[in-house]
Structure 1
Amino acid sequence: MAKLKSILKKEVQDFIDANINADITRIILSKSPFADVDSKTLAQQIEAKRKAKSKLPTWFKSQKIIYPKNINLQQSSSELTANYKLKQIKGQRIADLTGGFGIDTFAFSQSFSKVDHVERNSELSEIVQQNMASLNVNNVECHTTTAQEFLSTQQDKFDYLFIDPSRRDASQNKVFRLQDCEPDLTKELHFYLSKSEKVYIKTSPLLDLDLGIQQLKNVESIAIVAVQNEVKELLWLVGQESLKDINIKTVNIKTNGTQESFDFNWSDKSIEFSNYAEPQKDSYLYEPNASIMKSGAFQHISKYFNLKKLEVNSHLYASSEKNQNFPGRVFKINQILDYKPKLIKKELGGEKLNLSARNFPIKVEDFKKKYKIKDGGKTYVFLTTTISQRKIILICDKIN
């Protein structure tokens, strides 16, 4: 801890702040101005704090924060997704069994009376303990041990256990299947449920929902969390008994803190609903956000928002009336072109466009190359297929 404490000295913290935009290579190659903090450590702290500016703004703005190695910072939740979690569950006591850098632990400290941070990496555990003090958090206790060893010493049941299984194998390759992660929840979940009423699990967004439900069994809810239209994590709430249905929460968090949310029941996904139509000029086009796409509720949102689907596999929708509450992007269709090369070259060739393809035989990159199209501009173009199997180009303005 002595080396870590040295990082907290005022002169070292001032140096880090003064060099936050400095060239990292220059910092590494220069002689450290401090006897107890080497150049490599200074560079690592500067680089990590720089990354924290957008990912962890509270940490970035706070004084006397120590940052971990890059891999630990990469694997931590963002502050946006951690803040989402704190609004989903609350109670008296929770244990973060895969504590890491403590971002989720910090969030839980605001919705639970007591939080146990469990981390077997002793240096990381010390860093979190110091940072909690710097952040004025006094209801978090850090334990340098494994989840199994920690739980074996606990007599009372927890309200919740939170687990974010490591998605790196022994060779540090990325994995996402439950049985390939550490801990392996397909084998150890029963033990965790003997220690807590509920288990809250964070998994890779790549995990198949049907497979996760099958393997985790008593799933009560699944939250599909996207940030800026990129799915970042799946959050599974598992209880003691199976329920008749599973609540699915889709959320797309914007960097300004606003959210697009849409909830439904898992059984709604299987509702047969065929409401297809050809798109019309001056009508509205709807593109679901990434969390909706991951959920697979393609028929359900068509029915819920009273939209016409363009084609079974296109996952684009249309309506004559504008629906501002749709969880995704909304466009006004200005022009519809048939996919005829000469026509496309005349209308779009050499233009600056925002291109997307949905269920179309040509990839976006190939289309851009063929017609010399550049990225950018205010016009949005969708390459897609309609219910009549017509290949079309939709030229649109973005409404929201």
Structure 2
Amino acid sequence: MTLQELQELQRSDVLACIGQYEDHDPADFAMRFHDRPDLPVRAVAEQIVCRRKVSGKLPFFSGKDLLFTPRALEQASGEAAALWKAGLMQGERLLDLTGGLGSDSFFLSRRFDEVLYCERDELLAALADWNFAALGAENISIHCRDGIELLAELPDNSLDWIYVDPDRRSNGRRVAGLSSASPDVVAHHDLLLRKAPRLCIKASPALETTGLQQLLPSLHTVVVLSVEGECREILLLCDRASLSSGLEVEVRAVCLSGAREWALCSRQSEAPVRSVAPLPGKFLIEPDPAIIKSRLTALAAERYGLQFVNSSVDYLTADHCAEELPGRRFSIEAVLPYKPSSLKSFFRNNDISAASIQRRDFPHSLDILRRKFRLAESPERFLFFTRSSSGSFVCLVCLRVG
């Protein structure tokens, strides 16, 4: 989208056209109207694509005359994550240092008297301005400029919170490290804390969560957030008061599914010792990715009376299926030593022609295992290739539960 296309999209007749055809195939629309010079056909087709994605990702934004770019929509927080995140912050004045599409700014504006939306991309800032007006968010001001430059000009202690979602693309590639993203929150840590006593950083789900306090001395909590079983965000909560507290960082796993919220928190030094089962029980449980990423699997196992299948991976087992623990669960039909010829005979004798293959701490890749056993995919039957408690390679033949 260009700024000129944005201006054309804002016309009432074009908005009406988008609404009329938003349920149509965008390619068919483009072919049907390709000879209409009065319509920005390419841009309208793009909006049709975006509106379909918005209905699932940001349902509150659906059904309104809002405008998007595909990349900004892809990078924006989903509604469930944005609402939960907004619940962490409250006050008079917040700066969203990297505004983007503006979904976080909008949901945060319900928690603050004033939100400063900052975005250096002129098109995104213009889009956000249009969308905020359409949403009736009158307490958000638009600042189209470099966020760090704006921050440097603000008086110290003039903000209650700063929210920042650094751009994690470098030379067209995604990066996970804090210092590789823009702005560099590690380099600007002291500046950020001078302007606001509290800071929330949205980091990549791939970020390594250990050792972060050495990079961000004010860090007090790491939140690993999953939505519907997918790890979506890592949030780093910093507080000026934590600079002198001497406390270890708290790690929190939060799993959102529908209206349900499940959480577990601990400090790494408080993590219990892994209890490994001599033999697998009746069920295999794979915890939610947020639990695994936050290294809280041992604590979850202790809470729900589970043990590890082995000492190296986060597969849990028991004779009960621990329904309250977020994650996937399976009934174990057989535990077999990894001997390809014997496994092929077992599959043949038990009419197993399809299975989803999973592997952890196993020498062969998924591609090699698929080629070796030539099984079709299955949403119900699973084969877990891993190690036993004694370290030998095994295959757990399982059926999905629930």
Q: Does TM, scored on the shorter chain, surpass 0.5?
A: yes
Task: Please list the CA deviations of residues 141-197 of structure 1 after superposition, one character each: whole Å capped at 9, or x if unmatched.
Answer: 21222223323443352111001111122x333222222211111211110100001
Report the counterpart of residue 315 of structure 1 in structure 2. Answer: 314
Report the counterpart of residue 157 of structure 1 in structure 2. Answer: 158
Deviation at 1:34, TM superposition (A): 5.8
Deviation at 1:215, TM superposition (A): 0.8
Distance (Å, rounded) in 2 between the aligned partners of 1:322 and 1:173 = 40
- Secondary structure of the residue aligned to 1:202 is strand
Deviation at 1:198, TM superposition (A): 0.7
2:253 to 250, 266, 270: 250
Report the counterpart of residue 388 of structure 1 in structure 2. Answer: 390
**Partner letter of residue 312 of structure 2?**
N
Deviation at 1:234, TM superposition (A): 1.0
Report the counterpart of residue 43 of structure 1 in structure 2. Answer: 45
Q: Does 1:301 align with 2:300?
A: yes
**Partner letter of residue 83 of structure 1?**
L
Distance (Å, rounded) in 1 between the aligned partners of 2:48 and 2:37 = 15
- Secondary structure of the residue aligned to 1:267 is helix
Report the counterpart of residue 138 of structure 2 in structure 1. Answer: 138
Once the two structures are superposed, the pairs formed by residues 1-400 of structure 1 within 5 Å of their partners are 4-28=6-30, 30-31=33-34, 33=36, 35=38, 37-61=39-63, 63-68=64-69, 70-155=70-155, 156-169=157-170, 171-240=171-240, 241-242=242-243, 243=245, 244-254=247-257, 256-269=258-271, 271=272, 273-280=273-280, 283-349=282-348, 351-400=353-402
Deviation at 1:26, TM superposition (A): 5.0
Distance 1:34 1:55, change over 3 A: farther
- Secondary structure of the residue aligned to 1:180 is coil
TM-score normalised over the length of structure 2 = 0.89
Check whether the contact 2:279–2:389 (CA below 8 A) recurs between aligned residues: no
TM-score normalised over the length of structure 1 = 0.89
Distance (Å, rounded) in 2 between the aligned partners of 1:122 and 1:334 = 58
**Partner letter of residue 379 of structure 1?**
R
Identical-pair percentage: 24
- Secondary structure of the residue aligned to 1:352 is coil
Distance 1:279 1:20, change over 3 A: farther
Check whether the contact 1:8–1:65 (CA below 8 A) recurs between aligned residues: no
CA RMSD of aligned residues (A): 2.4
Distance (Å, rounded) in 2 between the aligned partners of 1:80 and 1:34 = 40
Distance (Å, rounded) in 2 between the aligned partners of 1:383 and 1:2 = 55
Greater CA deviation, 360-369 or 131-140?
360-369
Deviation at 1:11, TM superposition (A): 2.7
| Runs of at least 5 residues in structure 1 that lack an aligned partner in the other structure | none
Distance (Å, rounded) in 2 between the aligned partners of 1:172 and 1:365 = 28
Task: Please list the CA deviations of residues 184-217 of structure 1 after superposition, one character each: whole Å capped at 9, or x if unmatched.
Answer: 1121111010000111101112221124332112
Greater CA deviation, 92-101 or 389-398?
389-398
**Partner letter of residue 48 of structure 2?**
I
Distance 1:143 1:354, change over 3 A: same
Distance (Å, rounded) in 1 between the aligned partners of 2:79 and 2:22 = 20
Check whether the contact 1:16–1:46 (CA below 8 A) recurs between aligned residues: yes
Deviation at 1:132, TM superposition (A): 1.2
Task: Please list the CA deviations of residues 257-301 of structure 1 after superposition, one character each: whole Å capped at 9, or x if unmatched.
Answer: 5344322223224x4x142123345x2222111112212234333
- Secondary structure of the residue aligned to 1:311 is coil
Distance 1:5 1:257, change over 3 A: farther
Check whether the contact 1:380–1:396 (CA below 8 A) recurs between aligned residues: yes
Kindly tell me the number of residue pairs found equivalent between the two proteins: 392
